[in-house]
Amino acid sequence: MSSLSFLGDATSYLNIPNRDDFDFGTGDFTIEWYQYQTDTNPFPRIFQVGKHPAATIGVSIEGDNFLYWQPNRVYHTATPTTSIKNQWNHFAICRASGVTNIYMNGTSIFNIIDTTNFNGVADLTIGNESIPSTDAAFGGYITYFSWVKGVALYTANFTVPTNYPTFTNNSVLLLTAPVFSGTLGSTVVNNNVSTTPNVPPEFSSTPIPPPAPPLPLPVQPSSKPLFTNNSMVFYKAGSLASGGVGGVRNSSAKARRT
């Protein structure tokens, strides 16, 4: 299995075109992922829907703080008691019946009453803002990024699963998964994001560090694929792709700005 490797600069991010299934409305949802962060940038984005300062939902890591962004520049800050960087961590954002919890390694680090209506027409960017910059760039590794609509998978502290997220009827997006029951999509725009043969081990208090980051991919379309047989993007059938197996488009950051 593989993880996605981000370079931590303005050239390295994923862009996924908006579809209605990304909109949670006022309902329950779960966003979860594993990460190993190595950058020292001031406000790297794990993900963001829309353009700052008008983003509808997102997460940034600023120093030792985890910032959860909502519409109209509203954000909430959680400061975990353990390090966010330079080790594998699991995060989950779950809203259940109007209460949102943010979990780090299975323990709630923040919760709020939350009836926000998440709707819009913006794309999802992973690893940066929609207008990329180095300051907002995530550097390191992300795996099993999962976007689930209509279900809060966790409603209390939990043991982080070692059987990583699987594709269900409520899944909208799942990155890097070995098996699935859904549709393999082809609409992700890859900007200098490669794969590395490393994912979190069975979760423990002593995470295994990843290998050294690979050399940057060329900016022009590359023969090196973003997704190997063991590192794939899956969408809910009919939500982002019409079905079947397709190639992943590679494009430069410059091309994304035009």
Q: What confidence tens digit (pLDDT) does each residue in 16-55 have?
A: 888 787 889 999 999 999 999 999 999 999 999 988 777 8
Q: What is the pLDDT of residue 201?
A: 55
Mean of pLDDT values over 164-175: 80
Structural class in CATH, domain 3-257: mainly beta
- The rounded mean pLDDT for the chain is 76
Q: What is the pLDDT of residue 202?
A: 52
Mean of pLDDT values over 204-229: 38
Q: What is the pLDDT of residue 4?
A: 84
Provide the pLDDT confidence category of residue 5 given band limits of 50, 70 and 90.
confident
Check pLDDT > 80 for residue 164.
no
Q: What is the pLDDT of residue 220?
A: 28
Mean of pLDDT values over 196-223: 44
Q: Alpha-carbon distance 247 to 45, whole Å? A: 26
Q: Alpha-carbon distance 229 to 217, whole Å? A: 19
Domain coordinates of the chain in residue numbers? 3-257
Q: What is the pLDDT of residue 213?
A: 41
Tens of pLDDT, residues 45-98:
999 998 877 788 999 999 899 999 998 888 999 999 899 999 899 999 999 999
CA-based nearest residue to 109, from 76, 142, 149:
76
- With a pLDDT cut of 70, the percent of the chain lying above it is 71
Q: What is the pLDDT of residue 106?
A: 95
Query: Helical H runs in 4-153?
Result: none
Provide the pLDDT confidence category of residue 3 given band limits of 50, 70 and 90.
confident
Strand bridging mode 189-191 / 249-250: parallel
Comparing 149 with 231, the larger pLDDT belongs to 149
Beta carbons within 10 angstroms of residue 54's beta carbon: 12
Q: What is the pLDDT of residue 226?
A: 36
Contact 231, 197 (CB under 8 A): no
71-85, 115-129, 222-236: segment of lowest average pLDDT: 222-236
Cα angle, residue 162 at apex, residues 159 and 164 outer, rounded to 5°: 115
Beta carbons within 10 angstroms of residue 40's beta carbon: 9
Mean of pLDDT values over 140-150: 91
Q: What is the DSSP letter of 214?
A: P
**Which distant-in-sequence residues (6+ apart) come within 8 Å of 18 by Cβ?**
49, 120, 121, 122, 123, 124
Check pLDDT > 50 for residue 128.
yes
Number of H helices, E strands in the chain: 1, 18
Check pLDDT > 80 for residue 131.
yes
Beta carbons within 10 angstroms of residue 249's beta carbon: 14
